[in-house]
């Protein structure tokens, strides 16, 4: 098969949860640029409407669906509607997530549970209901958005790290159960990216900005477009025998104890 055919998604439909902003939007644009029809999920009406309008303005075939990924009844209803109105969901990207930055000893149990619910239980619920259709068709791609916190701990993000560590293992177990149905389940672990959310700290002289640049072997923050290649690869036939893997797109952070050029 020619390379262009391997990565062609023109006949595919992709559901991206939390695809209204940031890295979710970057991944959705990547799939759209490869020809996929986009199905964007959000839980805030105004934000979803604005995002869908932006995708359409940019020339992508886009549909928006409002539902909470932690509400199984709402997810089930939405997936049935999408399958009927838009068509079969070929690609699922479980991107919706939250983080609460609170020291472990100060964190309320309800806050801890809320993070686990969105970041871990949500992907399980959506995958369960999309997966049933994929199993019937014996075809599908599921991509869970993990994190470097799937591998490392960090101050104030105990709930997030617990959820993303769990999501890594959920990815592996989903792959184990679904591979025989020709469904590939993999994950992407983004590093530190230049988004609107990180803009206030991505300034010269800011301690965290200096930390990221010095800690990353590539010597820079990731650009959202850096996720495009991995997203398309894991969504396409090029990855048909890749299953249960987490690909970290982090500029080399997890590969090193420090920036090699500073240790010569």
- Ordered by start, the domain boundaries in the chain are 3-195+225-251
Global pTM value: 0.96
- Select which of 60, 65, 160, 192 is catalytic: 160
Report the distance separating Cα 89 and Cα 83, nearest Å. 7
Q: Is 248 a catalytic residue?
A: no
**Quick one: which of 230, 116, 120 has its CA closest to 170?**
120
Longest dimension (CA), the chain: 60
Q: Which residue has the tokens 């995708």?
A: 55
122-136, 165-179, 203-217, 229-243: segment of lowest average pLDDT: 203-217
- Residues 18-54 pLDDT 10s: 999 999 999 999 999 999 999 999 999 999 999 999 9
Residues in the chain: 264
For residue 3, what pLDDT band results from cuts at 50, 70 and 90? confident
- Asked if 42 and 92 count as a contact pair (C-beta separation under 8 A), the reply is no
Asked if the model's pLDDT at residue 263 lies above 60, the reply is no
Mean pLDDT of 46-70: 98
CATH T-level fold of 3-195+225-251: Rossmann fold (3.40.50)
Predicted local confidence at residue 260, as pLDDT: 53
- Residues 175-222 pLDDT 10s: 999 999 999 999 999 999 999 888 988 999 999 899 999 999 999 999
């Amino acid at each position: 098969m020619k390379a262009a055919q391997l990565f062609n998604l023109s006949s595919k439909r992709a559901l991206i949860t939390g695809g209204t902003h940031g890295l979710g939007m970057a991944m959705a644009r990547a799939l759209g640029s490869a020809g996929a029809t986009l199905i964007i999920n959000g839980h805030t009406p105004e934000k979803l409407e604005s995002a869908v309008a932006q995708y359409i303005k940019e020339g992508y075939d886009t549909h928006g669906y409002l539902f909470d990924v932690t509400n199984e009844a709402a997810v089930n209803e939405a997936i049935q509607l999408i399958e009927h109105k838009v068509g079969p969901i070929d690609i699922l990207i479980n991107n919706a997530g939250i983080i609460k930055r609170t020291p472990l000893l100060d964190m309320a149990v309800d806050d801890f549970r809320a993070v686990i619910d969105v970041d871990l239980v949500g992907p399980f619920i959506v995958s369960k209901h999309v997966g049933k259709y994929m199993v019937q068709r014996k075809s599908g791609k599921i991509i869970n958005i993990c994190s470097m916190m799937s591998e490392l701990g960090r101050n104030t993000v105990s709930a997030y790290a617990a959820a993303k560590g769990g999501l890594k293992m959920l990815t592996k177990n989903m792959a184990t159960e679904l591979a025989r149905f020709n469904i590939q389940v993999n994950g992407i672990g983004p590093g530190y990216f230049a988004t609107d959310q990180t803009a206030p700290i991505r300034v010269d002289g800011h301690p965290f900005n200096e930390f990221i640049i010095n800690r990353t072997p590539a010597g820079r923050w990731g650009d959202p477009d850096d996720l495009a290649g991995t997203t398309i690869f894991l969504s396409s036939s090029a990855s048909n025998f890749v299953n249960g893997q987490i690909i970290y797109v982090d500029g080399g952070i997890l590969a090193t104890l420090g920036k090699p050029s500073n240790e010569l």
